[in-house]
A and B are shown apart, each in its own frame.
Chain A
Amino acid sequence: MQVLNRVPQVTLAFWIIKIMSTTVGETGADFLAVNAGWGQNITRSVMGAFLAIALLIQLRARRYIPWSYWLTVVLVSIVGTQITDALTDGLGVSLYLSTIVFATGLAIIFALWYYMEKTLSIRTIITRRRELFYWAAVLCTFALGTAAGDLSTEALGLGFKLGTIVFGAMIALTLLAWRIGASAVLTFWIAYILTRPFGASLGDLLTQSNVYGGLGLGAMWTSAIFLTVIVILVTFAQLNINDQTNPETVT
């Protein structure tokens, strides 16, 4: 009997959607909190509620549904970022501390995951329990990526131009490491963490005014472009989901 993986294959499209969806998510949440005047607390509550609903839909689905998966990723991204921001801005927690805590937390999640499932492969997320570990890890990577990215800005004065180059280079190095034989699981999750600060820097590079060295597109246009690309790619994935000639199966 063929059992289908509940999360998507890791392809170039996967990484593009991942990077862009996190940027769009952050811009959207920020718009609600500041421009729309909701304030941080209400925005956090609303996003938390949306995430709960999205997770419910995602976990209860009988198979991988692209729009459900990516909507969940966007909301996990927002909530993960908000957790770090709440700690940093709300409670005054040092970014050094949050970076180390989330890195440790991620290591613990993986340790538990491996202890209980004997595999960390993301090609065999076929049970509820494995999928819960998966989303817990994803949430942690967003919190960690936010903390590490903010830390590099604050402690090193890393702007978005340099940030795009540095994080982009680190992702490329991770890809290279995988190609020459490093653990697929390890390199995947490292790259996954890095795409958070990379996406943030890239978004800033596009949105920020020329005065600060950005391309001056503004949040609205950048979000529109990214959203269009996301919708195209996710629609493409959704339309091809019934292509049974090359399913991501586990036998």
Chain B
Amino acid sequence: MRPGLLFCRCVAVALVIGLLTLTAGCSKPSNTETNSASPTTVAGQPRTSTNISAQEKTLGDLSAFRAIAADVAAIIDKGDLAAAKTRIKDLEIAWDSAEAGLKPRASGDWHVVDKAIDHALDALRANTPNVGACRQAVAELLKTIDSMSEKK
């Protein structure tokens, strides 16, 4: 085969892949597994660069994660930042293991909670953690999780 022809075919394949992904992104999502029976409002859901299709679904039951976060908050209130740092790792691991199950439900929401968790992790893992900053980060995390749970 002439090199020029093969090159054209390679470029054509790359373009087709690109076009297919763009088309897929612009179309409505097909039946995906979800926890909620009815669609919710998308108010408050950030438009991330990938979330073009209207994902009106929620992350579902986040109570297990909320429980750990509440635990961390309680430990911070006792003033033990080291113990809080240890406990929040449980949240990090639990959240990470559930990524594949949670993210497809509502990727925008997932990223919001993920960032809130990262923020709390950073606060507790700072070289010299500040009690006020940690308390606030975890409080914001709890608020974020609660706001997700309110979308039914």
* Partner-B contacts on A (CB < 8 A): 30, 34-35, 37, 94-96, 99-100, 103-104, 106-108, 110-111, 114-115, 118, 120, 148, 151-162, 186, 190, 204, 207-209, 211-214, 219
Contacts and interface: CB of A to CB of B under 8 A. Distances in A.
A157 B105 contact: yes
A120 B85 CA distance: 53
| The 3 residue pairs across chains A and B that have the minimum distance between CB atoms | A212-B101, A204-B100, A159-B104
A35 B7 CA distance: 45
A190 B96 CA distance: 30
Contacts of A148: 17, 21
B43 interface: no
Nearest to A144: B17
State the main secondary structure of chain B at its contact with A. Answer: helix
Contacts of A114: 3, 6-7
B101 A208 contact: yes
B25 interface: yes
21 contacts: A100-B18, A103-B14, A103-B17, A103-B18, A108-B10, A148-B21, A154-B107, A155-B21, A155-B25, A155-B53, A157-B29, A157-B107, A159-B104, A159-B105, A160-B100, A162-B31, A186-B9, A207-B100, A211-B61, A212-B33, A212-B98
Contacts of A186: 9, 13
Interface residues of B, number: 42
B49 interface: yes
Contact of A106 (B3, B14, B89, B104): B14
Nearest to B89: A37
B151 to A, nearest CB: 15
Contacts of A155: 21, 24-25, 50-53, 107
Interface in B44-68: 48-53, 55, 57, 61
A107 B10 contact: yes
A213 B100 CA distance: 10
Contacts of B98: 208-209, 212
A217 B91 CA distance: 20
Interface in B89-141: 89, 92-93, 96-98, 100-107
Given A157-B104, A160-B100, A213-B33, A99 B6 contact: no
